[in-house]
Amino acid sequence: MGIIEKIKEIEAEMARTQKNKATEYHLGQLKAKIAKLRTQLLEPPKGSSGAGDGFEVTKFGHGRVALIGFPSVGKSTLLTMLTGTHSEAASYEFTTLTCIPGIIHYNDTKIQLLDLPGIIEGASEGKGRGRQVIAVSKSSDIVLMVLDASKSEGHRQILTRELEAVGLRLNKRPPQIYFKKKKTGGISFNSTLTLTHIDEKLCYQILHEYKIHNAEVLFREDATVDDLIDVIEGNRKYMKCIYVYNKIDVIGIDDVDKLARQPNSVVISCNLKAAQFSCAVKCILLHALDACFPHTPLNFDRLLAKVWEAMGLVRVYTKPQGQQPDFSDPVVLSADRGGCSVEDFCNHIHRNLIKDVKYVLVWGISARHYPQHCGLSHVLQDEDVVQIVKKKEKDDGGGRGRFKSHSTAPARISDREKKAPLKT
pLDDT of amino acid 293: 42
For the cut 90, the answer to whether the pLDDT of residue 241 exceeds it is: yes
Most confident of 158-167, 258-267, 289-298: 258-267
Q: How far apart (Å, rounded) are the C-alpha atoms in residues 218 and 177? A: 6
Q: Are residues 142 and 267 in the same domain?
A: yes
| Res. 175: pLDDT tops 90 | yes
pLDDT at 52: 53
Does 318 reside within a domain?
yes
CATH code of the domain in which 335 resides: 3.10.20.30
What is the pLDDT, as a whole number, of residue 287? 46
Same domain for 205 and 161, yes or no, is: no
Select from 260, 247, 5 the least CA-distant residue to 125. 5
Whether residue 315 has pLDDT greater than 80:
yes
Residue 120 DSSP SS3: coil
- The confidence band for 304, taking pLDDT boundaries of 50, 70 and 90, is very high
Q: CA-based angle 243:245:249, to the nearest 5?
A: 165
For the residues 271-281, what does the mean pLDDT come to? 56
Using the predicted structure, report yes or no on whether residue 291 has a pLDDT greater than 50: no
Q: Residue 147 falls within a domain, yes or no?
A: yes
226 lies in the same domain as 249: no
pLDDT of amino acid 410 = 67
Q: How far apart are the first and last CA of the chain?
A: 109
Query: How many domains would you assign to the chain?
Result: 3
Report the distance separating Cα 85 and Cα 106, nearest Å: 15
Domain presence at residue 406: no
Look up the domain containing 206 and give its range.
3-41+175-235
Of the given ranges (10-19, 214-223, 414-423), which has the lowest mean pLDDT? Answer: 414-423
pLDDT tens sequence across 357-407: 988 999 999 999 989 999 999 999 999 999 999 887 765 555 566 666 666
Asked if 378 and 318 sit in the same domain, the reply is yes
Given a contact cutoff of 8 angstroms between Cβ atoms, the answer to whether 372 and 360 are in contact is: no
Residues 81 and 156 in one domain: yes
Based on the fold, state whether residues 147 and 223 are members of the same structural domain.
no
Arithmetic mean of pLDDT over the chain: 82
Q: CB pairs under 8 A, 24+ apart, for 176-179?
A: 176/219, 176/220, 176/221, 176/223, 177/217, 177/218, 177/219, 177/220, 177/221, 177/223, 177/227, 177/228, 177/231, 178/216, 178/217, 178/218, 178/220, 179/215, 179/216, 179/217, 179/218, 179/231, 179/232
- pLDDT of the residue at 132: 74
Domain-embedded: residue 22: yes
Give the confidence band of 153 by pLDDT, cuts at 50, 70, 90.
confident
Shared-domain flag, residues 185 and 149: no
Helices and strands, number each (H, E), in the chain: 11, 17
Nearest partner of 74 among 114, 33, 118, 14, judged by Cα? 118
CA 36, CA 17: separation in Å to the nearest integer?
Answer: 20
Q: What is the pLDDT of residues 179-227, one digit of tens each?
A: 999 998 899 999 999 999 899 999 999 999 999 999 999 999 999 999 9
- Residue 132: give its domain's CATH number: 3.40.50.300
Q: In this predicted structure, what is the pLDDT of residue 289?
A: 44
The tens digit of pLDDT for each residue in 22-65 reads 888 888 888 888 888 888 776 665 555 445 555 667 888 889 99
Assess whether pLDDT exceeds 60 at residue 347: yes
Band of pLDDT at residue 116, cut at 50, 70 and 90: confident
**Based on the domain organization, do 246 and 153 belong to the same domain?**
yes
Q: Do both 317 and 348 map to the same domain?
A: yes
Answer whether residue 297 is part of any domain. Answer: no
Rounded Cα distance between 119 and 109, Å, is: 30
363 shares a domain with 253: no
Residues 254, 351: one domain?
no
